[in-house]
Amino acid sequence: MRFRKQAISMRTAGLGAGCPVLFLAMTAGPVGGKPFDAVAEAQTPKAAASNRPESQKSAHDRSEAFRATSAQPSSDAFGSQPDQGKVLGFDFYRDPLNAKKPMRTFEEIMKEDKAAKPKIMEDQRKLLESRYDLTPRFHPEAKMSRGKPVPVGPTARLRDGVTWESLAAMTPEEMRKKGVFPYPALPHPKQATGGQVFPKMQIEMFPRLERFDVEFDLPDAFLPEFPPAMFLQNRPELGDVSRGEVVSINNYYALFKDLLTPVQLDGLRLLLTPFPQEEFNPTDDRKSEQPSLGVTCLDCHINGHTTGQFHLNPDNRPQERRLRLDTVSLRGMYNQQLHGSKRSLRSVEDFTEFEFRTAYFNGDPIHAMKKGFTQFDRVQVSHMAQMQNMFDFPPAPKLDVAGGRLDPAKATDAERRGEQVFFGKGKCAECHMPPAYLDDRMHDLRLERFVNEAPTGPIKTFTLRGIKDSPPYMHDGRCLTLEDTVEFFNLVLELKLNAQEKADLAAFMRAL
């Protein structure tokens, strides 16, 4: 780790005005440009030129003698035994799990995956372009917490001759029969493999998160900020405490040693420590080109929020029944009593423990035993939970203090009208109740009424506080903007909202 000296004013440091202060700050990166990644640094061997004879590779070093197929049998009697004494099928520890052919090398699998990747992503691009207008349009005034423009829609493409008004006049059965429902399930680009996929902007900073078999599919314009803002409910007067940085094992101590208690700080350390995960680990069935220590909780819930990373939910089988699942924000965790999209976990501690023991491995603890089983002491789990409970919603200056409703004196006409729709004709408040705008329950929208897809079953209500910071929307990101979400519910709940009511409802949600 390198450090640099930097002079700042006491005002900049939050200490007062005028007097310069000298402090040590971690550099953004080593000489050469890329941001420093202590995790990658710890596991990346350095090339060291040497003329020492013992460091030179010999023909024996490069030979095939070390492969299992080159091993000589311990007895010539095996020739008459079944399979000549060899394990010809699946070897749990050595082989990639669920491989089509057992006893394949990592290099063979990676070569095949790399060759298939361009077509996989081209097919996904064509699918997305057939469903959405991916040309970004932005709200003229609304911004996310750190200034990124908020995308507006709707972006869904409608069939020729179909309008939003004619759609709303159809019954669910008519939409399903004609195949015109504009928001079918959004699939993972590589369903058979699944796994966590990180957006390009994050991989550029942390290359260890790149996969060789698949890549992120949605444009950056429809994703949250990077880095996202970070708010602490124990220090609300500070506002965004990220200071424009991605919180990582490189900088967490310098950023938070004066803001968090020792217990919370230890919890943050654990949330920033990598542990093996299904696609990111040292085994031959990983999807990172180099062996990896794994991922951290806050690689996905970055700065306690999200950048729209997705994977498959761990709760369904067989594989084709699993759902694409976006990473959700941890903001306001202290106010939530239900965790996990379908698992209905009742405490932050249970959620934290479950993620490591099974969700990191697609709900399969057998995989975890192979790739790096992690079992935390309950004290460590409580530290991690305490830190997660520090993450707060972004400020909402137009909401009143008592009940989380709009302050009429601060709201626009559109926002006030939208609030009336939200609590009235729109039926939104039946599931999204203030002040946190959720109900800690699970609901089944029965989308199979509208599309020829398998039922998804009940999924938990997600909070709407700070919702403008969290595109795309729904559990799988199928609604790229708030306007798309309004259109979705207008159809699914058969609300019959007019154009003005829909625009006002989106305006109100941006104020949350």
**Where do we find the tokens 């005005």?**
17
| Predicted pLDDT at 3 | 36
Q: Which positions ≥6 away from 485 have C-beta within 8 Å?
A: 473, 474, 479
**Confidence at residue 32, expressed as pLDDT on a 0 to 100 scale:** 54
**Alpha-helical runs (H) found in 229-286:** 252-256, 262-271
What was the pLDDT predicted at 279?
Answer: 94
User: What is the predicted pLDDT for the residue at 302?
Assistant: 97
**pLDDT of res. 33:** 63
For β-strands 149-151 and 138-143, DSSP reports them as antiparallel
Q: Can you spell out the DSSP letters for 12-76?
A: TTTS-SS-EEEEEEE-SSSTTSSPP-HHHHHH-PPP-----GGGSPPTTTTSGGGSGGGPPPS-G
- What is the three-class DSSP state of 341? coil
Residue 188 corresponds to which tokens in the numbers above?
């993972």
Question: Contact 134/155 with Cβ under 8 angstroms?
Answer: yes
d(CA 131, CA 7): 52
Say if pTM beats, i.e. exceeds, 0.75.
Answer: yes
Which CA distances in Å does 489 have to 276, 335, 388, 474, 511? 38, 25, 30, 11, 19
> What is the rounded end-to-end Cα distance, in angstroms, of the chain?
41
Q: What is the pLDDT of residue 22?
A: 32
Is 218 buried (19+), middle (13-18) or exposed (0-12) by CB count in 10 A?
buried
Residues 348, 392, 198, 190, Cα dihedral to 10° = 50
How far is Cα of residue 28 from the mean position of the Cα atoms in its chain? 24
The DSSP string of 169-209 is HS-HHHHHHHT--S-PPPPPTTTTT---B--HHHHHH-GGG
Please enumerate in sequence order all residues whose Cβ is within 8 A of that of 152, keeping only pairs 6 or more positions apart, or say none: 137, 138, 139, 481, 482, 483, 506
pLDDT value of residue 296:
95
Q: C-alpha angle with apex 313: 307 to 319, nearest 5 degrees?
A: 130
pLDDT along the chain (512 residues), means of 10: 36 36 38 76 77 81 82 80 76 70 85 95 96 98 97 97 97 97 95 94 94 97 97 96 95 96 98 94 93 94 97 89 94 93 87 84 85 89 97 98 95 98 98 96 96 94 97 97 98 98 98 98
Residue-level pLDDT at 359:
79
